[in-house]
Structure 1
Amino acid sequence: MPEHDPEQELGPKFTSALQNQAGAEAGLQKTGLAQEARRRVRRRRQGWSMAAGAVLVAAAIGGVWSLVGGESPVATGSSNTSGDSKAAAPNRSFEGVMPSPAPDNMCPLEHPILKAAGPDALQASAGLDLATKVTGLRACRYGFAEGGTGLLGQEVFNAAVAQQVVDAIKVLPERNPDLPVFKCAPPTAKPSEAIVLRFDTAAGVREIWVEYDGCESAGFYTGTHTYGLYSAPLKLFMTGSVRPSGGTYLNALKDW
């Protein structure tokens, strides 16, 4: 009968115990790795939830600003080749925009009255029929004196004033009997200035020439008729740069 060796019995037990311990440690290691993996997944999910919440808040804020007509609180920019973001440049589309064209009723710098023999030279086709409806007026003051020839001033009036001027002229007699009659030499007969009234009508611009200086004649000339010079119409348009400093017949009127 073989001799009993205690070490032989303990060997398998030690081996089994070591194997069990190694398995436990491996299990614990696997369990720890699984726990770490789950912890990381939870952190990622939390990060995604926070990011999604931030996006929703930003979208909500942007929507509120859009509803009230304000600008978005988030600055926008354009990326360049280096990846840097720059603020959008302000809109300067208004720069370089040309002003609106001048209306057709602008006072011409070279007007026929500058070369006309007198106010009665106004052609009927260019003159205003006082029965015509007018929608606007530009008063143009021209000078004839040496060194002062040309446009001296102009003023614009609306339809209401334009019609008032026409209504004030068409009731006047052909001549104002209160004005003096002058006898003067030809050099002093010519006026130093006169006014052209350019009315807007459906048929285009029509004119009345106003003579108030010199010593030859005075009045409102329509191309077909002459109306005497009175203060009532003059007060309506002789304003600003169109108001003369004086005139032979104006000085005689006194209340213009």
Structure 2
Amino acid sequence: MAESRRWETYGGIEVEVPAEWGFGNSEWPSCVVQPPFGYVGRPGGIPLVGCRDDVPPLADRVPYLWFSALPKDPAIRSYDGGWVEESQIVAGVRITVLTDDDTLRSRLFASARPVLDDTDCPARHRILDGIEARPDPGLTGMGPVESVTICRYFTGNRPTNPVLSLSRVTGETAARLVRAILSAPEGSGPNTPGNCVPEVMYGDEAQVLVVRDGVRRQEVFVRYSGCDAHGFDDGHTRRWLTADALEVLLAGPHRPSGGLQSAVARLRRPSRFDPPGHGQ
């Protein structure tokens, strides 16, 4: 039976990886809780105490693919047990693979490619214009939901493509997500503006949801980073963040790169949308 695979996206690059791999966010590839089958890593998060920029001991080692926003020269390093760490640059993004399987490493690099910019998650999107940007209204007039594309953007200054991750949910999962958004209380929150200085008040990442019902296409902006202006915005109504919606939106490849303010962090819960053994 053919191996199940999925596409992972970062900075305008996509790579096809084993479907059972988990996720990790940290300062260095080895500084995450090791999922049992391997994982896809993105920069960000808080390094574990005592962690260093090196591979784990052989008994604890699992394969990974790591995206980096700061390209360095390509490199190959060999380790004990036949493990090899190789880095390549694809369209300005550094991709690093650690594995003891030469065939897998070659296949991962062969699949790496730029994401076409005519998708639901273009590199130049109005959400990057600032906190006042809003989508065209509105979500309430749509028919039965068929799919939701989730686009996670870095909203700060970045020299490469700002798309941090991209995925799509369909069927009942998509319909349940939209119902959760529409049932959220009107307004903005939970907010804790007193916890941030002005420069970081709105954080450095946000999401754009592209909802389709088979006829119409509607965007929803999701803001959850920083301390203020949190919530869902369909261009007509702003609504509070809720745990039901965030179960999908802050899981898997969309796990936030940095920490969340406590009011938002309390809404996060273990998610069925994270593979078993997902990274920190």
So what's the TM-score if we normalise by structure 2?
0.47
Contact 2:117 2:123 in 1 (8 A): no
Moved over 4 A (4+): 101-105
Contact 2:142 2:213 in 1 (8 A): no
Contact 2:135 2:221 in 1 (8 A): no
1:112 corresponds in structure 2 to 126
Q: List aligned pairs for 1:114-153, cutoff 5 A.
A: 114-115=128-129, 117-118=130-131, 121-125=133-137, 127-129=138-140, 131-147=142-158, 150-153=162-165
Give structure 1 stretches of 5+ with no counterpart: 1-100
Q: For 1:112 and 1:252, how far apart are their aligned partners in 2?
A: 29
Contact 1:105 1:200 in 2 (8 A): no
Larger radius of gyration between Structure 1 and Structure 2: 1
Q: For 1:161 and 1:222, how far apart are their aligned partners in 2?
A: 19
1:224–1:206: structure 2 CA closer, same or farther, 3 Å change rule?
A: same
What's the % identity of the aligned pairs?
Answer: 28
1:194–1:241: structure 2 CA closer, same or farther, 3 Å change rule?
A: same
Offset at residue 252 of structure 1 (A): 4.2
Q: Is 1:236 aligned to 2:238, yes or no?
A: no
Match of 1:226 among 238, 241, 245: 238
Q: For 1:231 and 1:141, how far apart are their aligned partners in 2?
A: 18
Q: For 1:214 and 1:204, how far apart are their aligned partners in 2?
A: 32
Q: For 2:215 and 2:165, how far apart are their aligned partners in 1?
A: 25
* Counterpart AA for 1:110: R
Offset at residue 102 of structure 1 (A): 7.5
Secondary structure of 2:140's partner? coil
Contact 2:140 2:182 in 1 (8 A): no
Higher strand share: 2
* Counterpart AA for 1:182: P
1:228–1:210: structure 2 CA closer, same or farther, 3 Å change rule?
A: same
Q: For 2:216 and 2:142, how far apart are their aligned partners in 1?
A: 15
Match of 1:168 among 180, 196, 212: 180
Offset at residue 143 of structure 1 (A): 0.5
Higher relative contact order (CA 8 A, sep 6+): 2
1:250 corresponds in structure 2 to 264
Offset at residue 205 of structure 1 (A): 2.1
1:54 corresponds in structure 2 to none
Contact 1:136 1:200 in 2 (8 A): yes
Q: List aligned pairs for 1:59-138, cutoff 5 A.
A: 106-115=120-129, 117-118=130-131, 121-125=133-137, 127-129=138-140, 131-138=142-149
Offset at residue 167 of structure 1 (A): 0.8
2:205 corresponds in structure 1 to 193
Number of residue equivalences? 152
**RMSD in angstroms over aligned alpha carbons?**
2.9
1:151-208 deviations in Å (ceiling 9; x for gaps) = 000111112211110111111112477x353224321212210011111134432111
Higher helix share: 1
1:97-145 deviations in Å (ceiling 9; x for gaps) = xxxx989753212211112x31x522334x4236532211110000023
* Counterpart AA for 1:181: T
1:207 corresponds in structure 2 to 219
Q: For 1:221 and 1:111, how far apart are their aligned partners in 2?
A: 15
Q: For 1:176 and 1:108, how far apart are their aligned partners in 2?
A: 26
